[in-house]
Amino acid sequence: MKLVNFSVAGRASFGVLTAEGIVDLRARLGVPASDLTEFIRAAGPIGPEALTRQLDAAIAGAPDHRLSAVRLLTPTGRTRYFCIGINYPERNEEYKDGTERPKYPSVFMRTHTSLVAHDEPIVRPRESEQLDYEGEIVVVIGQGGRRIAERDALAHVLGYTCGNEGSVRDWLRHAKFNVTPGKNFDRSGSIGPWLVTADEVGTGPLCVKTRVNGELRQQDTSDRMIFPLPFLIAYLSAFCTLEPGDVIFSGTPSGAGARFDPPRFLRPGDAVEVEVSGVGTLRNEVIDDAA
């Protein structure tokens, strides 16, 4: 099942994307929630199969909107974004600092204002010309919890989406232990285009690819992660109670623009595509921040 947040005629809503169009769940269910995150949290602990059963009756019949008639919004909205750094073997080796693979994941947070939706422009800020791309597999939590065991972790996943964890490289190095500024410039990254429930995606390895202007820059699979998805969920929930709607950016493969010689940072007019198998393709063009 593909779940979307969207806007039509100035009204925000959420729904299910089918082959024929979008079923407007806010209208059909008569709920006060205006996006998926609000709906998930109001529904309480919910897994993908339970959600599908709950919505089957609501999505029967003709869709309410054509996909071309709506504006897609980020499928996750105002929530917490946990981000993982250096989670593929070659990505660690790109740093060329002689260190062994990390024993624990690198974790940082992003704000919702740093991310735009599918087909919306990502913005190169006036403060830097070092805007970079990072294609990632993104996990959305459906059932929260504290100290979740690895063996149970995937049961807490509602679904998956695509992410471009855009980074302003020079602002990542403004201080010794400070990546927050470079990861949180307004509209510097993206997420979408929709959320595909875990039962539809399946349990096999997921492949992530990043293309810039049609050129393949990044490609890897989730089974090669240094810290697999179940471990990440268990690790994060060890210190923090995960909540329905929380989002995990699981790390980017090697091949980001900063690692080329010379670096190949994004410029206005560039088109970035992040594809995750079983999910879809997230596409954004780059613009300069308006004066």
Q: Coil, helix or strand for 262?
A: coil
Cβ contact 132:264 at 8 Å: no
Quick one: three-class SS letters along 162-173?
A: EEECCEEHHHHH
Q: How confident is the model at residue 291 (pLDDT cuts 50, 70, 90)?
A: low
Cα Dmax for the chain: 59
Q: Side chain identity at 98, as an amino acid letter? A: G
**Domain extent listing, the chain:** 2-73, 81-288
How far the first Cα of the chain sits from its last, in Å, is 41
Q: Quick one: pLDDT at residue 96? A: 56
Average of per-residue pLDDT values in the chain: 94
Q: How confident is the model at residue 264 (pLDDT cuts 50, 70, 90)?
A: very high
With residue 250 as reference, give the H or E element that holds it: none
Superfamily for domain range 81-288: Fumarylacetoacetase-like, C-terminal domain (3.90.850.10)
Across the range 114-137, mean pLDDT stands at: 98
Strand-pair category, 135-141 with 247-249: antiparallel
Alpha-carbon dihedral 261, 251, 277, 221, rounded to 10 degrees: 80
**What is the DSSP-derived secondary structure letter of residue 65?**
B
**What is the DSSP-derived secondary structure letter of residue 119?**
T
Cβ contact 135:192 at 8 Å: no
Q: Which residues contact 59 (CB under 8 A, 6 or more apart)?
A: 16, 18, 23, 25, 28
- pLDDT, tens digit, for every residue of 37-95? 999 998 777 777 878 887 888 888 899 999 999 999 999 999 999 999 999 998 656 65
Q: Quick one: pLDDT at residue 50? A: 79
